[in-house]
Structure formats: C-alpha cells, structure tokens
C-alpha cells in the first residue's frame, strides 16, 4: 500500500497515522540519544511507551480496495524528553510532558491527562480528540491485550455536520498503538485505511551465519 493524494493518510492526520504510513518530515537519521535523563512522570507513557530502539510493525489495509501493506516505525531518543518516530517516509517528534505526550510539529497533544471517559482536548489543525473507551479488549497478531484506551480525533465543518476526517486509535498498556483506523470524507465519498499491530519491542539481531537470533 502506498499513500496517495486520494487517501486519508496523505492528508495531515495525527502523528499516529505516521506510525504506519506517511509521516511528513526529513528522511535523515535522527540524532543519537543524549544521556539517560529521567522523563516527566505521565500516565500517558503507559499507553505509548517510548523506549529508544523499540519498534512497532503494522499490517495495513485499504478499506475500499483491500490493498495490503506493512509499515514499521522506530523510536529514537533525542535530547531530554523528546523522541523521534521514524518510518520509511520520514520522522516526527514527540515530547513527553507531565500533561501527556505532545506532538511538536503540529503543536497539539496526542494523549493528554486526565485519560478518563469523555475527556477531550484540542487536536491537530482544529480537530478535537476525545476518549471513547477505557477498557477495550484487542486481539491482533501481536497478541491479546486488555484495558486498552481508545481515542477518536475528528475534524468537522464549521456548520457542525458530518466529519471531514476521523482517526480512531487504540492504545494498549505497555504496548502502544495496537489498532488505527483513518477515515476521510471527500465529495460525498468515504475513504479509509486501517492498521493492526503485528510485532513490537526491540528488533531481533539475526545471526546469518548461525541461522538464529543473536
């Protein structure tokens, strides 16, 4: 699956869409981690654990055509509480704050405390993010997880009609994003793509000569 101008992920969706498809940004390698500075204490880190060197791999599928693909995002620690999420398309920067996890480029929170049912906060480009569920059970190739948090980010017209864009993201404790569904409505047509978590954690260093992980 390739992002294109007719797909939701090609528009400026939240950074989590970048986890699986089309991050905008520099393709250059992120700076090396700087020290082991303690991160601000935030409940949001439980739902999006940012650990230098970790990665998430996703299966992705187009809702309309059924076209499938796979995407990987890796975490690199930057200076202090900042992290770079790097995909094949570029990088995006997150900052850990006591109030939650902040998207630097879009000047908006990805997750913001209190993470309680019905909580809302401003999203990217005039969108509104709300907590839709706190106890979702998710069964994906990476495993079965309980107590997952679901957020829904919507951009609506000024008249308050149907949304122009919606991104539903499911975060699982100590895992990260397990499910993501990006949708857009253009000219009366619905477009959508979704992603499911296949693997997460440290990448395996495979010993080619011995034919096994190191």
Phi-psi region of 83 (alpha: psi -120 to 50; beta: other; left: phi over 0): beta
Give whole-number Cα distances, 199 to 55, 58, 89, 120, 206, in Å: 8, 7, 20, 30, 16
What is the percent of the chain with per-residue pLDDT over 70, rounded to a whole number? 74
Q: What is the pLDDT of residue 185?
A: 85
pLDDT range class, residue 14, cuts 50, 70, 90: very low
Comparison of pLDDT for 212 and 61, the residue scoring more: 61
User: In angstroms, rounded to a whole number, what is the distance separating the alpha carbons of residues 173 and 146?
Assistant: 8
Residue with tokens 């997952």: 148
Q: What is the pLDDT of residue 209?
A: 54
**Lowest-confidence segment of 25-29, 43-47, 126-130 by average pLDDT:** 25-29
pLDDT range class, residue 25, cuts 50, 70, 90: very low
Q: What is the pLDDT of residue 189?
A: 85
96's CB contacts (< 8 A; 6+ apart) are 39, 40, 42, 44, 45, 50, 81, 82, 83, 102
Per-residue pLDDT reduced to its tens digit, 135-149:
999 999 999 999 999
User: In angstroms, rounded to a whole number, what is the distance separating the alpha carbons of residues 10 and 110?
Assistant: 19
Q: What is the pLDDT of residue 110?
A: 95
Quote the pTM value: 0.79
Q: What is the pLDDT of residue 30?
A: 44
Q: What is the pLDDT of residue 160?
A: 59
User: In angstroms, rounded to a whole number, what is the distance separating the alpha carbons of residues 205 and 214?
Assistant: 6
Q: What is the pLDDT of residue 17?
A: 42
pLDDT range class, residue 16, cuts 50, 70, 90: very low
User: In angstroms, rounded to a whole number, what is the distance separating the alpha carbons of residues 178 and 56?
Assistant: 9
- Supply the mean pLDDT for the chain: 81
User: In angstroms, rounded to a whole number, what is the distance separating the alpha carbons of residues 72 and 133?
Assistant: 26
Q: Is 52 exposed, middle or buried (0-12, 13-18, 19+ CB in 10 A)?
A: middle
DSSP-assigned states of every residue in 165-180:
EEEEEEEETTTEEEEE
User: In angstroms, rounded to a whole number, what is the distance separating the alpha carbons of residues 76 and 52?
Assistant: 5
User: In angstroms, rounded to a whole number, what is the distance separating the alpha carbons of residues 204 and 46?
Assistant: 23
CATH of 8-201 given 2.40.360, 3.40.1000, 3.30.70, 1.10.1760 = 2.40.360
Residue with tokens 């809302």: 120
**Lowest-confidence segment of 42-51, 89-98, 101-110, 199-208 by average pLDDT:** 199-208
User: In angstroms, rounded to a whole number, what is the distance separating the alpha carbons of residues 184 and 197?
Assistant: 22
Q: Using an 8 Å Cβ cutoff, are 33 and 86 in contact?
A: no
């Amino acid at each position: 699956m390739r992002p294109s101008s007719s797909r939701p992920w090609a528009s400026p969706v939240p950074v989590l869409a970048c986890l699986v498809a089309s991050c905008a940004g520099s393709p250059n390698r992120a700076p090396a981690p700087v020290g082991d500075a303690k991160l601000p204490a935030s409940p949001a880190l439980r739902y999006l654990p940012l650990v230098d060197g970790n990665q998430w791999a996703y299966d992705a599928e187009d809702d309309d055509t059924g076209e499938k693909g796979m995407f990987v995002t890796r975490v690199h620690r930057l200076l202090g509480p900042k992290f770079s999420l790097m995909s094949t398309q570029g990088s995006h920067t997150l900052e850990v704050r006591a109030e939650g996890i902040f998207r630097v480029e879009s000047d908006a929170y990805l997750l913001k405390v209190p993470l309680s049912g019905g909580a809302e906060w401003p999203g990217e480009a005039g969108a509104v993010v709300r907590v839709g569920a706190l106890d979702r059970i998710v069964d994906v190739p990476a495993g079965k997880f309980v107590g997952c948090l679901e957020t829904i980010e919507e951009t609506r017209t000024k008249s308050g009609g149907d949304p122009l864009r919606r991104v539903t993201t499911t975060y699982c404790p100590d895992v990260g994003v397990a499910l993501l569904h990006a949708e857009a409505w253009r000219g009366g047509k619905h477009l959508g793509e979704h992603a499911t978590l296949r693997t997460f954690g440290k990448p395996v260093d495979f010993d080619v000569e011995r034919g096994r992980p190191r």
